[in-house]
Amino acid sequence: NAGVTQTPKFQVLKTGQSMTLQCAQDMNHEYMSWYRQDPGMGLRLIHYSVGAGITDQGEVPNGYNVSRSTTEDFPLRLLSAAPSQTSVYFCASRRPGLEKTQYFGPGTRLLVL
Amino acid sequence: AQSVAQPEDQVNVAEGNPLTVKCTYSVSGNPYLFWYVQYPNRGLQFLLKYITGDNLVKGSYGFEAEFNKSQTSFHLKKPSALVSDSALYFCDQDSNYQLIWGAGTKLIIKP
């Protein structure tokens, strides 16, 4: 199993540009989520999904969209990038129920100029 | 509001000495508590978790944590630190998919 994969590893955007961060998992996990990591702030939940076709907002959803058309994929879209979105983005997945251990991807480092 | 506190931004320990990374939580009911480790330029890796049962939880790489309900704490411990334990450690509380993360503690193990 590849686990959770993320692409790209690093991206530079100009303010106002759009892009999609890709996330895929091959563990058949129903739950998937996107986090951003900023220095001194830990992880903050952007959006999450409890299954295909179901998404919900986390703590910091503004400026981001998600969709979940398949169990495997959970892309994160930045519609109009802003410098405040410069961060490291992590995708994670887990099984439902009491097995709450999350499996993280390697991260995408995003720089918005 | 629910919160997870990691009161130390950084912990310095000499190799071979015991280490403790602190975490306190605030939640009503029974919390699900986790520790994750992040090595440089890597994603987070699961270390251990408390769901229910024995208050002393053993995890990967020789780490353990003790759930203390009266003190609302879930401190991470290891009897003898290794230089390779140097990393960023996160405490996480999971309550009905409301995930609450601590800000992280940088652990530095000096040879």
Q: Which of B41, B46, B102 sits opposite A102 (nearest CB)?
A: B46
| pLDDT band, very low/low/confident/very high, at B5 (cuts 50, 70, 90) | very high
- For residue B63, give the amino acid letter: F
DSSP E strands: which ranges in chain A? 4-7, 10-13, 19-25, 31-37, 43-51, 54-57, 64-66, 76-78, 87-94, 103-104, 108-112
**pLDDT recorded at residue B28:** 66
Tens of pLDDT, residue by residue over A42-83, are: 889 999 999 999 999 998 999 999 999 999 999 999 999 999
Per the CB < 8 Å rule, is A42 touching B43?
no
- List CB contacts (< 8 A) between A48 and chain B: 97
Q: Nearest 5°: CA angle at B47, between B4 and A55?
A: 65
Give the residue-averaged pLDDT of A80-91: 96
Query: A89, A102, A103, A109: which to substitute to probe chain B, counting the most B Cβ within 10 Å?
Result: A102
Q: What is the mean pLDDT of chain B?
A: 91
CA distance B89 to A101: 15
Which residue among B46, B94, B102 places its CB closest to the CB of A42?
A: B102
Cβ distance A48 to B97 less than 8 Å, yes or no, reads: yes
Q: Which of B24, B1, B23, B36 has the alpha carbon at shortest distance from A59?
A: B1
Instruction: Determine the residue of chain A that is closest to B10 in CA distance.
Output: A40
Give strand pairing partners of B99: B94
Closest chain A residue by Cα to residue B102: A42
What does the H/E/C string look like for A69-87? Answer: CCCCECCEEECCCCHHHCE
Task: Please give the angle made by the CA atoms of B93, A96 and A28, to the nearest 5 degrees.
Answer: 125
| Phi, then psi, of A80 in degrees rounded to 5 | -150, 95
Rounded Cα distance between A70 and B34, Å, is 28
Range B91-102 average pLDDT: 79
> Which residue in chain B is spatially nearest to A44 when comparing CA positions?
B101
Average confidence score pLDDT of chain A: 93
pLDDT band per the 50, 70, 90 thresholds, residue B97 = low
Confidence band (pLDDT; 50, 70, 90) for B52? Answer: confident
**Nearest CA to B108 among B78, B82, B76, B90?**
B82
Asked whether the beta carbons of A78 and A64 are under 8 A apart, the reply is: yes
pLDDT at A3: 93
Give the number of beta-carbon pairs within 8 Å between A and B.
48
Residue type, A38: D
What residues contact A62, with CB distance under 8 A and at least 6 apart?
none
Give the model's pLDDT for residue B72.
92
CA B106 to chain centre: 11
Span B31-49, pLDDT tens digits? 889 999 999 878 899 999 9
Q: What is the pLDDT of residue B96?
A: 63
A39 touches chain B (CB under 8 A): no
Query: Bridge partners of A96?
Result: none
Say if residues B93 and B35 touch (Cβ distance below 8 Å).
no
